[in-house]
Chains A and B, each alone.
Chain A
């Protein structure tokens, strides 16, 4: 086993690129996928299409960052899709129905998202509810609350800039929403690699008892991870609202599974302690490129689901075989 194949290395130099190192396999997969699509379609390899892909992955990308942290500590969050919908509906209600400015409605909606994560985190750490169950409950609760706000109706009537933030390409290529996703990626990578907390996440995921005995505040860190995951789910909801120029309570059904898939394809282990944001970004790109490419190849949406399932199996078994060597 060489140093390169291990989770993280301690060389100097390109440390941000180093975040990708645990995900060499997925990265190769992504490159192969891109090469394949370049040869098989006329339209894949173009700046325009790449920008499209970036637009299409913003929601999943932001959500998957939070999910990575949760899975890194050995947890799971099934509630992100519902929290996303709840955040969107709270924002819509506060702005359109209650007449508050977007500058207030958005932060307030994110606070609601944070509360969801807080409840899940407290249930998990204080009441020893398994993460799967706690977030399953939150998934149902948040979805119900989202629907109660308008009795299932969608809300429209956002200011023009809101939708335009997902359309106008500043400098010819960067929409506000894509820029937001890049911002989240960058902060997450910096946090994971250079902050006390980022290191502590690996310790907790590796072995919570070792982490606790080492003086790491495992309870607080765990709660914070669920809060951050929920806030990022809420943020991705706001991005989705901007893209659709409307919000509805049925948004984000099944998104939690996409987010988990992206994290897992990116090489983060469901048992915690290994992997990271770098891999997840590649995982998100694989899903984005695959969907885009399959559309270009006119593969039916049903078949697309089958193929994405196969890719998950491929990614995880490849990882298992690599480890066994």
Chain B
């Protein structure tokens, strides 16, 4: 049998942001009627690549062909018109509008100057039928199950005559049965000759649905399998690979004394369940897992930023389960949050003010505070942590690494007992990272219990004494530094 010509072919696609290249010459062909699984760790370049295909991002160089003709969509709309349907992980439906209106939003069918609801509903209905969905198109979207909303997104793409669908983590929010429903519809679309790019972190389901597997790492295509039935271990090895050696500091040996003990912690909205672990004085405890595994939610709950539905947190053997950041801070548990710009610093306030906000109680003398005292206090920590800036400068003018140092400085001034860092080096360039790692090790040496959450596998492996792996809100396992490697962690994370 001769292979049909591809719907879409990519040749040497490159994308740079400034001087940093994030896609290094990717080649990819998608044929009609096949499901290509696009796999890779967080930051491997999957999203950038799918954004290039769907017209959200323009490639810096390279060539794309759509049905044999040159293809260079400048906007998502152009890609859509060509026949690319991108279904995002976060659904983008308007909940208070009807299904039909959602399908045709922005391109309402008109007849004689009026919106032709009837035609819209008929067309939407046929799209829904094609997916085997028996819902009246006049129903509003609000209240439909996530799986059905997902299918409506697909129906929307189909009514626009999509020949290629990109599904980004379509099963992330789906249960087992809903996943099977989705897979049946995908099979149906395949038989109609639609090409599908399927992005997922759930390796088990890849075997079930994919015809081919493309693995990306660090912005390049590293391996391609001509069948979906590849052992998970092989895929994981391809995903993590071996990249450049990075410099991590020597890790101090923790004491035997347990500082923090978490027992059966669960969140009210079920983002994590029954998590138990303990961290010793002077230990760096890493938490690994894929996006949506519940890591951030767990550490936010641990530091009082989010509610806890059950379980307990003990500090030095004393139960302290915090209900607000204020309480956690009073006990010496502090959080360096994931999103520095939204949760860590006030960008248009000065560095001195930012450092001061977490230390107002220390700085005040029966409630009184002076600028002189504040700047002296801030200056001491600016020097101590080598922040490249002065106290009266706005935090927004600093680089990411220096902003992170400001966040650390504001907490370390309080001499905390437990420091929780969520993605401590996200968005910080490689050079500045090692100084953050040094700070973390200094903390451990000073007898602080440190918890580090990171999506950067190498980072967790490099800085932690022990690593807890989370998968879909569950504790998948705790590995000792000596047993942990990228493959063992990824295996647990994709459980």
Contact = CB atoms under 8 A, between A and B. Distances in A.
A199 B371 contact: no
B330 interface: yes
A212 B375 CA distance: 22
A322 to B, nearest CB: 14
Contacts of B284: none
Interface in B379-413: 391-392, 394, 410
B307 to A, nearest CB: 13
Contact of B348 (A195, A216, A274): A274
Given A6-B394, A209-B343, A213-B337, A196 B349 contact: no
A215 B326 contact: yes
Contacts of A193: 371
Given A10-B374, A194-B368, A194-B370, A210 B360 contact: no
B13 interface: no
A202 B325 CA distance: 18
Interface string A262-298: 0000000000011000000000000000000000000
A30 B260 CA distance: 58
Nearest to B326: A215
Contacts of B352: 10
A203 interface: yes
A203 B346 contact: yes
A195 B326 CA distance: 19
Contacts of A308: none
Interface in A189-229: 193-197, 199-200, 202-203, 206-207, 209-217
Contacts of A6: 350, 392, 394
Contacts of B372: 10, 12
Nearest to B303: A213
A46 interface: no
A216 B346 contact: no
Contacts of B76: none
A31 B357 CA distance: 35
A215 B329 contact: yes
A25 interface: no
B369 A194 contact: yes
B362 to A, nearest CB: 10
B311 to A, nearest CB: 21
B357 A199 contact: yes
**Range for the number of chain A residues in contact with chain B:** 20 to 34
Contacts of B353: 8, 199, 202-203
B357 A12 contact: no
A196 B335 contact: no
A15 B357 contact: no
B97 interface: no
A278 B324 CA distance: 34
Interface in B292-325: 303, 305, 324-325
Interface in A5-55: 6-12, 15, 18
B346 A206 contact: yes
Nearest to B337: A213
A3 B392 contact: yes
A96 B345 CA distance: 54
B342 A195 contact: no
Contacts of A274: 348
Contacts of A202: 346, 349, 353
B174 interface: no
Contacts of A210: 342-346, 357
A289 B374 CA distance: 37
A213 B346 contact: no
Contacts of B344: 210, 213
B371 A213 contact: no
A213 B367 contact: no
B360 A216 contact: yes
B335 A213 contact: yes
B325 A199 contact: no
Interface in A232-280: 273-274
A213 B343 contact: yes
Contacts of A209: 342-343
A193 to B, nearest CB: 8
A207 B368 contact: no
28 contacts: A6-B394, A11-B371, A18-B371, A195-B367, A195-B368, A199-B353, A199-B369, A200-B357, A200-B360, A202-B353, A203-B349, A203-B353, A206-B348, A207-B342, A207-B343, A210-B346, A210-B357, A211-B357, A213-B335, A213-B337, A214-B325, A214-B329, A214-B357, A214-B358, A214-B410, A215-B329, A273-B349, A274-B348
State the 10 A-B residue pairs at the shortest beta-carbon distance, nearest first.
A206-B346, A215-B329, A214-B358, A10-B375, A203-B357, A10-B371, A214-B357, A215-B326, A196-B364, A207-B346
Interface of B: 303, 305, 324-326, 329-330, 335, 337, 342-346, 348-350, 352-353, 356-358, 360-361, 364, 367-372, 374-375, 391-392, 394, 410
Interface of A: 3, 6-12, 15, 18, 193-197, 199-200, 202-203, 206-207, 209-217, 273-274
Given A12-B371, A215-B325, 7 more contacts: A9-B392, A11-B371, A194-B370, A195-B364, A199-B357, A210-B345, A212-B325
